[in-house]
Structure 1
Amino acid sequence: MKLSSQLVVSSLAVFVLSACSGNASQRRQAQDDFEYLNTPTFSEWQSIEGAEPQFYTNYQVPQGDFRGGVGPQVDIRPPQQILELIPGARIDRKGGDVTLWLLRATEADKVWSTAQTMLNERGIGIQNQTENSIETGWVTWVSEDEDLPLSARYQISRVTSNGRHGVHLALIDWREGSDVKPVTLTNKERYSALMSNLVTARYDLDIRLEAERKARELVKNIPITMGTDRSGLPVIIARAPYDVLWNRLPDILPAMGFNIEERNRSQGTIKAKYVEQDDEFWQEIGVKPVELRSITYTFLFGDLGNRTSINVTDAKGKPVESELLKDMVPVLAAMAEKYQ
């Protein structure tokens, strides 16, 4: 599923699973026939005179005026799920509309601001706007599961209820190709969820960018010294949390001359091949040259809470000498300071 050329989904991946080949209609419909549509109308049960019928309520068909699609009108695609990417938000889906509820007004204001940012970045036109409501222009969705390009207009508004604050999204107009048609519940449920995911994905992007910014701030002054591990063996100690240091390593290690070949965050390992640096490099950073061979080394990072241990092994898995580790300390410190 993707937007038209004006609205290319970059941060949101929507996967469409097709069980078989065929046209768009076949991908939305069950593969069996629709012979059940020819089922004769049910007639009332006629009991034998004098008999007292007993009925099990377990199988009683509910009474009511139930309306919905049948046969080829039934859409067998799995429902679209809303990505839960906004911390603390509760998602309420009712009648095809979506409401993101938050406990604080400031949090709802941030979601509201994110929605406006997303609309602006993706070039989605605004037809009407007030302080607490936005009515969009036509948003075009293109999918292999649909026969024609689909377009929808949305209303996004700020709401409050029982001390909660939220952002409400509703699909208000529907178009198939160039024909405007009534909005169905199926269309509302599916395409309101997709639009909501653009908002939640944009919010998540802001969170990740802010986390990266904070990580860079924390890295500005990372004391790096020699220390010992629990076995008493020498290791380099970086006085920064593991997650903070790990995010900076793609900048720090290449700047030292290490070309990263493999990374495994869960295991805390990075394999990188060293490329010998010239005299100008060492003069620029003002530290003693490190006598490293041009081979692949493995960096081992240990999570010590508010600190991170660093050890290095050679291509054979043998720890490098303690003197070499000591020589690497000022280089690491210089690169951490340079790439803040």
Structure 2
Amino acid sequence: MAILQTTVSQTAISRTKNRAIRGVAVLLVMLLAACSMDQRYKRQVSGDESYLDTAAQKPLKVPAGMILPLRNATYDIPQGSQQGAVGKQLDIRPPVQPLVLLNGARTEYTADTSKLLLENGPQNRDLWTQVSRIVENNHLPIASRQDANQTLITDWVKWNRADENEEEQFAGRYQISVQQQGYQSALLVKSLGLRQANNPVTDGIKVQRYNVAMLNTLVQGLYKIRTDTENNQVARGAGSLDVQSGSDDSGLPALIVRAPYATVWQRLPAALSKIGMKVGDHSRSQGAITVTYRAISNSDWDALGTKDPALKIGDYKLQVGDLGNRSSLQFTDSKGNTLNQQQNDSLIVVLQAAFNQTGTK
């Protein structure tokens, strides 16, 4: 009988524990679900907020008859009143910056207008057509469109951001246009309205955030179009490249490669490695490359079918220029001196051979 009672008692305890565990598990699931729905923590500062209760500074009261030592007011904290959100109400997210992904591009923006400026080159000749394609590919709703004026107005574009609550997402309307400004083409995005959960938003910071976001959507689309085009050029440009002697606008020696910039940039690192130049920092948008030259062995030169150009060992900067269907290469030594004509001429055959060996498929 005692054994039966003990067994029943243990069973009851076990059931109680199981119910408690299940209850805790359900509570944890509910808490996690609540956290996953509320995204405010991504926009709010975390930590001790006791600084908000700091008492204001008071002027020092000096008793009558006391003479204080001379003081320097250099490090005095000026009095002032700060207007704006504090604590949990402060949005700690960094401002959205316009993306500069395209060669020769620069941006300008205000609270409600963003602008991308591009040179009037061959790539930008059909800018409006490219922008229209990007709008369609991103399924942006269009309220009106005037191709003759290269302008369109979107309907409400919904922004689904992971740092905003689902029920508090933003939506905006924009005027997108392409204009000619002297020797440049300008892609403009102007905000025509912003709302959050169907409530109008006039806060300049928020308007700017989503205005720049629209510009960046277009910039990313343009970058993809350019990259796809350049990759196709590279594929068609496989094989030998002709390298010739030339000069820049100021008359300084340079090397001219008879191939588009995309093709040369794609094949340049491997070609430089072939002749003993190790590539360091490089920026495709600026056409800048840093290299360190270490002479290779005679057998390596024989494998290239060329001779040692007798280039001084050390660090160099290489500037790659886009000349349409050609590209320029200009080397500068560590002292900022451009290689002279003789040094450039010695590199012609060397780079020609290196390009040929790295460009075959």
Deviation string, structure 1 residues 163-216 (Cα, Å, up to 9, x no partner): 754222233322223x22223233233322322221111111121222133234
CA distance 1:102–1:68, change in 2 (3 Å): farther
Q: Secondary structure at the match of 1:114?
A: helix
Provide the rounded CA distance (Å) in 2 between the counterparts of 1:217 and 1:117.
25
| 1:30 pairs with 2:29 | no
* Contact 1:24 1:146 (C-alpha < 8 Å) held by counterparts: yes
8 Å Cα contact 1:37/1:71 also seen in 2: yes
* Structure-2 residue corresponding to 1:199: 218
State the secondary structure of the residue aligned to 2:232.
helix
Structure 1 match to 2:114: 98
In structure 2, what is the Cα distance between the partners aligned to 1:97 and 1:24? 28
**Which residue of 165, 168, 185 maps to 1:147?**
165
Post-superposition shift, 1:116?
A: 2.3
Distance 1:62 1:245, change over 3 A: same
Aligned 8 A contact 2:152 2:176 in 1:
yes
d(CA) in 2 for partners of 1:209 and 1:182?
38
Alignment of 1:102-251 (within 5 A): 102-104=118-120, 110-130=126-146, 131-148=149-166, 149-158=169-178, 165-177=185-197, 179-219=198-238, 222=239
Partners of 2:140 and 2:170 in 1: CA distance: 15
Asked if 1 retains the 8 angstrom alpha-carbon contact of 2:230 and 2:263, the reply is: no
Percent identity, aligned pairs only, is: 22
Alpha-carbon deviation of 1:38? 3.4
Contact 1:98 1:168 in 2 (8 A): yes
Tell me which residue corresponds to 1:314: none
The 1:301/1:59 distance shift into structure 2, 3 A limit, reads farther
Deviation of 1:124 (Å): 1.0
Unaligned runs of at least 5 residues, structure 1: 1-20, 224-238, 249-263, 269-299, 312-331
TM, length-normalised to structure 2: 0.49
Distance change >3 Å, CA 246–CA 99, structure 1 → 2: closer
User: Which of residues 87, 92, 95 in structure 1 aligns to 2:103?
Assistant: 87
Q: Report how far residue 39 of structure 1 moved.
A: 3.8
Instruction: Report Cα offsets for 1:236-273 as digits up to 9, x if no partner.
Output: xxx999x859989xxxxxxxxxxxxxxx99989xxxxx
More helix by share: 2
The amino acid that maps onto 1:147 is N
Aligned pairs, how many?
Answer: 229
| SS state at 2:357 partner | strand
| Post-superposition offset of 1:88 | 0.8
Q: Using a 3 Å threshold, how does the CA distance of structure 1 residues 310 and 32 change in structure 2: closer, same or farther?
A: closer
1:56 alignment counterpart:
73
Cα deviation for residue 29 of structure 1 reads 0.8
CA distance in 1, matches of 2:206, 2:304: 50
The verdict on how the C-alpha distance between 1:45 and 1:181 changes in structure 2, with shifts beyond 3 A counting, is: farther
Distance change (3 Å), C-alpha of 1:246 and 1:106: closer
CA distances 1:127-167 after superposition (whole Å, capped 9, x unpaired): 24452543211111222211133222222234566875422
> Whose radius of gyration is greater, 1 or 2?
2
| 8 A contact 1:301–1:310 mirrored in 2 | no
Tell me how far apart the structure 1 counterparts of residues 182 and 55 of structure 2 sit (CA, whole Å): 50
Contact 1:98-1:192 at 8 Å conserved across structures: yes
